[in-house]
Amino acid sequence: MINFNVPSELISQEPVNPRDSARLLVYDRQTRQITDAIFRDLIKFLPQQSTLAINNSKVENCRWLFNDSKIEIFVIEKLDTNTIRALVKPGKKFKLEKQLKINEWLTFHTVSIDKEGIRTLKLSVNHDDKRLKKFEHVPLPPYITQNDKLANEYQTVYAKPLGSKAAPTAGLHFTDKLLNEIKKHHELAEVTLHVGLGTFGSLTEENFNTGKLHEEYFSIKEKELKKLKNANHITAVGTTTARTLESTVQGPSLYRNVSGFTDIFIQPGYEFKAVDSLITNFHLPGTSLLLMVEAFIGSKLEMQKIYNHALKNSYRFYSFGDAMLVL
* Whether residues 86 and 156 fall in one domain: no
Are 273 and 246 a contacting pair, CB within 8 Å?
yes
Residue pair 148/137 in contact (Cβ under 8 Å)? The answer is yes
- In a shared domain, residues 220 and 78: no
**Number of domain units in the chain:** 2
224 in the same domain as 306: yes
Q: Is position 143 within any domain?
A: no
Which of 137, 172, 198 represents a domain boundary (last residue)? 137
Residues 88, 237 within the same domain:
no
Check whether residue 162 and residue 112 sit in a common domain. Answer: no
**Residues 33-59: tens digit of each pLDDT:** 999 999 999 999 999 999 999 999 999
Does 156 lie in the same domain as 121? no
What is the layout of strands, in order, in the sheet containing 323-326? 33-38, 23-28, 323-326, 277-281, 233-237, 50-55, 188-193, 212-219, 259-264
pLDDT confidence tier of residue 253, bands split at 50, 70 and 90: low
* Of the candidate ranges 27-36, 53-62, 139-148, 237-246, the one whose mean pLDDT is the lowest: 139-148
Give the span between the Cα atoms of 86 and 311, in whole angstroms.
36
One domain for residues 203 and 263: yes
Q: Is residue 3 part of a domain?
A: no
Kindly state whether residues 91 and 206 are assigned to the same domain. Answer: no
Instruction: Identify whether residues 87 and 41 lie together within a single domain.
Output: no
Residue 219 is assigned to a structural domain of this protein: yes
Domain boundary among 137, 157, 189: 137
Kindly state whether residues 255 and 288 are assigned to the same domain: yes
CATH number of residue 196's parent domain: 3.40.1780.10
Assigned domain for 27 exists: yes
pLDDT at 249 over 90: no
Q: What is the pLDDT of residue 89?
A: 93
My answer on whether 126 and 99 are in the same domain is: yes
Using CA atoms, how far apart are residues 19 and 321, in angstroms rounded to an integer? 10
Q: Are 195 and 216 in contact (CB under 8 A)?
A: yes
Residue 252 pLDDT > 80: no
Last-in-domain residue among 117, 137, 157: 137
Amino acid 201: pLDDT: 66
Is the pTM higher than 0.75? The answer reads yes
Task: Find the CATH number of the domain harbouring 128.
Answer: 2.40.10.240
123: containing domain: 63-137
Q: Are residues 126 and 178 in the same domain?
A: no
End-to-end CA distance of the chain: give it in Å, rounded.
21
